[in-house]
Structure 1
Amino acid sequence: MYKSLRLKPSLALNPMSRRYLATKPQNSLPAAYYRGGTSRAVFFQQNDLPKDKEHWAPIFRNVIGSPDPYGRQLDGLGGGLSSLSKVCVVGPSTHQDADVDYTFISLGIKNNDVDYSSNCGNMSSAVGPFAYDSKLFSPDGDSASVRIHNTNTGKIIHSSFPVVDGEAASSGDFAIDGVAGTAARVQLDFINPAGSVTGKLLPTGNVVDVFDGVTATCIDVGNPCVFIQAHGLGVQANLTPDEITTHPDLLVRLDSIRRQAGVKMGIADTLESVPGSVPKICLVGTPSTDARDVKQEQTPAKVDLLARALSVGQPHKAVPITVALALAAAARVEGSTVDGVVSKDQVDSAGITIGHASGNLMVGANFADSGELTSATVFRTARRLFEGRIFWKND
């Protein structure tokens, strides 16, 4: 006969024990959760956050669920992916040419990183709808155009979208690859997007540079980016994200090149101090007749080039919008690594059609006669998923 197990009183999980009485109540703030393009983020109104921005980081980490050694962020609203580990702050404009200010924050998943060094083009598509839904900006009519000042880069973005019954429209017939279904179209015009962080279209002063024996183009449009032809690393440009992750040394080589490029672009003084979010790095290549191209990019004739981007060290499931903007600009720079692989007979004269891991994306770049990049345009969708109060635990 087995004897029943009895715990000593000191070991019993008594709800009234000191262990439980020491628990503190949670904190909470008004917040919303939006999908923007192929990303998601928690949105705060700036006036609801502490005035001292030094106090923001602990809130954001706890809300998202970072750091999480398991990499899942189950105790927060992150999703274990860089495209889901994001926060956006929107408030009254401090810029004369804008209606609202917008600050983007990227958070590490397994570490404590809270990164303000770059913008997110996908989440930019949700900023206008959030500003409208939150009554930070309320134009009349059945459409809205919000001028957004991105504080990370100092750049202006014009966001245009339909509205219905006092809220940003969510239903529509526009689809983007990587997101199921259709929704209302959001047009984003990035005004004078060159030099977002470095102040220059070509931060190194060169069309191409060589890092670890690999030729790269460093360009700053939307965000600083590094473009490498896939064959320069001995791989195909149509790799899946899983294939990039499991490749024996590709991620290590890409990070080495990215860090060297970051120093040469003037983003950081040392390899170790290069931020995780910028520069972005992306493999590019010419569309082929590979069966996966036919399946993922529909047919080779429907894209002008292939791109596989990384975001905070992870292969991106689609393509970051800021990377797409930089690709469109680099395709127009003669002699660049992108110019070397992009089709000269474009699928659509309105812009470059990029084949990424989840489908296609078209983005346009507009240059003045003087050669200056004046604007870049991309179309996305966005939707409010919830709003209310968000809770996080005291440390």
Structure 2
Amino acid sequence: MPQQSFKAVYMRGGTSKGVFFRTDWLPDDPGIRDRILLRVIGSPDPYGQQIDGMGGATSSTSKVVLVSKSKEPDCDVDYRFGQVAIDRPMVDWSGNCGNLTSAVGPFAIAQGLVDAPANGIAVVRIWQANINAKIVAYVPMRDGQVVEEGDFELDGVTFPAAEIKIEFLDPSGDADEEGASGMFPTGNALDTLSVPGVGNVELTMINAGNPAIFVHADVLGLKGNELQKDLNSNPELLAKAEAIRAHAAVKMGLAESPEQATQLRPHTPKLAFVAAPEGYTASDGKVVDPATLDLNARIFSMGKLHHAMTGTGAVAIAVAAVIPGTVINRLVPDSAGRQIRFGHPSGSLAVGAEARQTEGTWVVSKAVMSRSARRLMEGSVLVPSDTLSI
């Protein structure tokens, strides 16, 4: 029986890449759709390599995106992100990918879902359907085409490209369609959580871009300047980090038990650790000068340390930095009204957020960052026909 063909575009967005689909390129049935997406990426793979699929065997490369005309009156397109588990038959739709957000605008323009000017900047209003949030992308255009080549450099991406500015509006709005809402699910900028096997952990649990958890590096016995090679071969450390993440997920109202958080919700919330600036050599060999940084930050994704920083992690850092009392604000108490720069394993990144206090409550109107995106391949993906009938 011949394989089934589905139109698709393979794209890099920020420091991630994934397979993009218009929603009408796939079956309407969610179960059949997810089986197709799993087979496209090459999951589940007990070898952990995704050799028989488009995935790259990391959390940054095991991703799918669905885009359609928006059902929201003030948005152009609806964007839904799926984090595909590598070793399990699961597509986690619980959160956004901030990196791939930067590729949504270019994809939507190329597919005729958005009217764009021939030259200048196309403003693409995106409804992020996973977290019910509005995002605005500013996409450069020339001669009726998206500009992909340029001189904007993003640490974690080898080649320069055109800059795409991204605004996450009201990033703490409706952070999760299944559970917690509001910026701080517990009502506190800082909490202490008792985690079995770890002890009492001081942490900030926040909804901003995605649900996120911040702890100081010393909670994990770390300095904050570690690289992937330092942590991803340490199962004891990774288990400790997951225990904190899973118990915090329950406290945030995102899972009924730590076990459920680990098994059914590996994508969000994400756990990050931060520390005062300290120098290190990034993964590409570049020396990162602590004098250029406001803080160091590292984030775990799907059970491993991320090679750079997730886009939504960057949003959460920007938001938490301007709210007094958070783990991050204690490191950068002067962050209001400016961008901050943090160091990550691949280099550094500048982010900013606008916040105001209304009747004793902090409200963040937007978080801003820059990314780039590029089409890597366009055409069709093939899946065995029996995938549709299992």
Would you say same fold, with TM above 0.5?
Answer: yes
1:266 counterpart (253, 260, 284) = 253
Separation in structure 1 between the aligned mates of residue 111 and residue 77 of structure 2, nearest angstrom: 12
Matched to 2:128, the amino acid is N
Could you tell me which residue of structure 2 aligns to residue 72 of structure 1?
Answer: 49
Could you tell me which residue of structure 2 aligns to residue 322 of structure 1?
Answer: 312
Within a 5 Å distance, the mapping from 1:127-206 to structure 2 comes to 127-142=104-119, 143-195=121-173, 196-197=175-176, 198-206=180-188
Could you tell me which residue of structure 1 aligns to residue 240 of structure 2?
Answer: 253
State the 1:385 CA deviation.
Answer: 1.0
Deviations 1:245-272 (A, max 9, x none): 1235211111001011000000111112
State the 1:190 CA deviation.
Answer: 0.5
Q: Helix, strand or coil: the match of 1:372?
A: strand
State the 1:292 CA deviation.
Answer: 6.7
Q: Is the 8 A contact 1:93 1:100 kept in 2?
A: yes
Matched to 1:327, the amino acid is I
Q: Is the 8 A contact 1:297 1:355 kept in 2?
A: no
State the 1:181 CA deviation.
Answer: 1.9
Could you tell me which residue of structure 1 aligns to residue 32 of structure 2?
Answer: 55
Separation in structure 2 between the aligned mates of residue 39 and residue 248 of structure 1, nearest angstrom: 24
Could you tell me which residue of structure 2 aligns to residue 30 of structure 1?
Answer: 7
Separation in structure 1 between the aligned mates of residue 218 and residue 68 of structure 2, nearest angstrom: 45
Matched to 2:98, the amino acid is G
Distance change in 2, residues 1:100/1:297 (3 Å):
farther
Could you tell me which residue of structure 2 aligns to residue 85 of structure 1?
Answer: 62
Separation in structure 2 between the aligned mates of residue 290 and residue 317 of structure 1, nearest angstrom: 14
Separation in structure 1 between the aligned mates of residue 144 and residue 40 of structure 2, nearest angstrom: 28
State the 1:164 CA deviation.
Answer: 2.2
Q: Helix, strand or coil: the match of 2:38?
A: helix
Q: Is the 8 A contact 2:356 2:364 kept in 1?
A: yes
Separation in structure 1 between the aligned mates of residue 379 and residue 144 of structure 2, nearest angstrom: 18
Matched to 1:30, the amino acid is K
State the 1:167 CA deviation.
Answer: 2.2
**CA radius of gyration, larger in:** 1
Could you tell me which residue of structure 2 aligns to residue 379 of structure 1?
Answer: 370
Q: Is the 8 A contact 1:238 1:292 kept in 2?
A: no
Could you tell me which residue of structure 2 aligns to residue 363 of structure 1?
Answer: 351
Separation in structure 1 between the aligned mates of residue 31 and residue 84 of structure 2, nearest angstrom: 15
State the 1:208 CA deviation.
Answer: 1.8
Within a 5 Å distance, the mapping from 1:330-349 to structure 2 comes to 330-342=320-332, 344=334
2:217 counterpart (217, 230, 244) = 230
Separation in structure 2 between the aligned mates of residue 98 and residue 239 of structure 1, nearest angstrom: 40
Unaligned runs of 5+ residues in structure 2 are none
State the 1:341 CA deviation.
Answer: 2.4
Q: Helix, strand or coil: the match of 2:36?
A: helix
Q: Helix, strand or coil: the match of 1:84?
A: coil
Please tell me whether residue 352 in structure 1 is matched to residue 334 in structure 2. no
Deviations 1:31-88 (A, max 9, x none): 1011000000101111111122232110000000001111111111000001000000
State the 1:209 CA deviation.
Answer: 2.0
State the 1:290 CA deviation.
Answer: 5.5
Deviations 1:95-118 (A, max 9, x none): 111001111001000111211100
Within a 5 Å distance, the mapping from 1:244-323 to structure 2 comes to 244-247=231-234, 249-274=236-261, 275-289=265-279, 296=286, 298-323=288-313
Unaligned runs of 5+ residues in structure 1 are 1-23
Q: Is the 8 A contact 1:305 1:343 kept in 2?
A: no
Separation in structure 1 between the aligned mates of residue 13 and residue 279 of structure 2, nearest angstrom: 32
Separation in structure 2 between the aligned mates of residue 177 and residue 109 of structure 1, nearest angstrom: 25
**Percent identical:** 40
State the 1:394 CA deviation.
Answer: 2.9
State the 1:141 CA deviation.
Answer: 3.5
Separation in structure 1 between the aligned mates of residue 323 and residue 98 of structure 2, nearest angstrom: 22
* TM-score, normalised relative to structure 1: 0.90
Separation in structure 1 between the aligned mates of residue 286 and residue 89 of structure 2, nearest angstrom: 35
Please tell me whether residue 218 in structure 1 is matched to residue 205 in structure 2. yes
Could you tell me which residue of structure 2 aligns to residue 21 of structure 1?
Answer: none
Q: Is the 8 A contact 1:297 1:303 kept in 2?
A: no
State the 1:314 CA deviation.
Answer: 1.4
Distance change in 2, residues 1:277/1:290 (3 Å):
closer
Separation in structure 1 between the aligned mates of residue 45 and residue 280 of structure 2, nearest angstrom: 38
State the 1:298 CA deviation.
Answer: 2.4
Q: Is the 8 A contact 1:87 1:106 kept in 2?
A: yes
2:78 counterpart (90, 93, 101) = 101
Matched to 1:393, the amino acid is P
State the 1:349 CA deviation.
Answer: 6.1
Distance change in 2, residues 1:291/1:98 (3 Å):
closer
Q: Is the 8 A contact 2:123 2:139 kept in 1?
A: yes
Q: Helix, strand or coil: the match of 2:314?
A: helix
Q: How many residues align?
A: 370
Separation in structure 1 between the aligned mates of residue 57 and residue 69 of structure 2, nearest angstrom: 31
